[in-house]
Amino acid sequence: MVSPFNSIEIYNVSITPEHEILRKTMRKYAEEKLAPLWKEIEIKDKLPQEIYNELANMGVFSIGIPEKYGGQGGDQISKMIVIEEISRKIPSIGVIIDTTDFPILALLLWGTEDQRRKYLPSIANGKAAAGAYTEPQAGSWVAGIQTHAEKKGDYYILNGRKIFISTVEYAKYIIVLARTSPPNRNRMHEGMSLFIVDKDTPGLKVGSKLNVLGMRGDRPYELIFNDARVPSDNLIGEEGMGYYYTMTLLNFTRINIAAQAVGIAQAAFEKAFEYSINREAFGKKIYQLEGVSFKISEMFMRLQAARLLTYWAAKISEKQLQNPDKSLPEVALAGSAAKAFATETAEYCSRQAVQIHGGVGVDFETGIERYLRDSIITTIYEGTSEIQRYIIARLLPRIMYGRKIDIG
């Protein structure tokens, strides 16, 4: 036994020649097309339409969608590679890929064939999508949502408010978590359902854009539902299963954020290493100073560990795609570990990159401090680092001993 797992076979992560071709392709595009645009995107807080169209045409938003639905297929590791390489230059694009993945996976795992054929080709063709579950009083505590959906004839009438919803600016469709039965004080997670909603639905208003710390180019919005009429055919899976579906989907999207964080950490490491090799102070290259070179060494170690952990979690998540209605604690465990470690690595590497650059590190014009801003965001959305540790602590006894231990 390799605690908490039964065999070391779980650590088998295969990287293929196709993965490397994909990485080189995305690296080349990011270097040539995305890197020169970072300042424009930071200032305008919007992705240029021509770049969005190019990414859509490349199939970036359709990674994981089967070819029969208009996508380009690809496994979970392929998705990580794309997110990592793009986030290395423009982290906010990684957000768009991640949030679009939420509806894609919801449809693939629990959608009807009619729903898949209706929505997946459109998404694969560049119509981004988003997931709306967070509310003012329900962030990490998803079970606390109040948005509700009342069945009336062939429609559900949605009322409520969502907040911190990413990719709204680019999205055509939004997967919404809402209550379809009154909350039970003792079982708050029951009675929720998932719906796919067109952003143009009457009664759905896009509210304020939130001026958060980072991720300029795709900062979040609030959504307001006021008697929004959603066809009953837009219910995803079974009524009342929305909370469980959402928790499963987050097991996937947290790994996406880990990949985004790896891209940020890689960029920060490269910038700091290059600067330390060329910058002179005290009569020598600052890389020759132990205080600097040890920081670089630490960044390197954490970065490699974060990447391996992320790819490992992505590989394990493939099991969930084959078992959509089965609880697989090892998927959640790996995803939470990857998300917490990779995002904290991104924050560490970005902070050290700023420190190594000194004064120029805090100057917007050099493009270094933006990685620190973006890395902090990654430790918060899709579940804070504290929530990831809670999930790990809750699951370990279940995996190792087959029993539940309450965690305060």
Rounded CA gap, 224 and 220, in Å?
13
Helix (H) / strand (E) containing 223: strand 221-231
DSSP assignment string, 321-344: HH-TTS--HHHHHHHHHHHHHHHH
Coil vs helix vs strand at 177 = strand
Torsional class of 125: left (φ above 0), alpha (ψ -120 to 50), beta (otherwise) = alpha
Amino acid 79 reads K
Q: Which residues pair with 128 in a beta bridge?
A: 171
Cα dist. 177→102, 290, 318, 400 in Å? 12, 52, 24, 32
Helix (H) / strand (E) containing 235: strand 235-236
Do 104 and 123 touch, CB atoms closer than 8 A?
yes
Does the active-site annotation cover 382?
yes
3-state helix, strand, coil in the chain (%, to 5): 55, 15, 25
Phi, psi of 203 (to 5 degrees): 95, -10
Residue 264, token pair as written in the block = 């940020």
CA 245-340-269 angle, to 5 degrees, is 130
Q: How do strand 171-179 and strand 128-132 relate by DSSP bridges?
A: parallel
Cα dist. 205→102, 305, 308, 309, 361 in Å? 21, 43, 41, 39, 40
Set 135, 239, 344, 382: catalytic member: 382
For the beta carbon of residue 301, count every other beta carbon within 10 angstroms. 11
Helix (H) / strand (E) containing 198: strand 192-198
Q: Which residues are catalytic?
A: 382
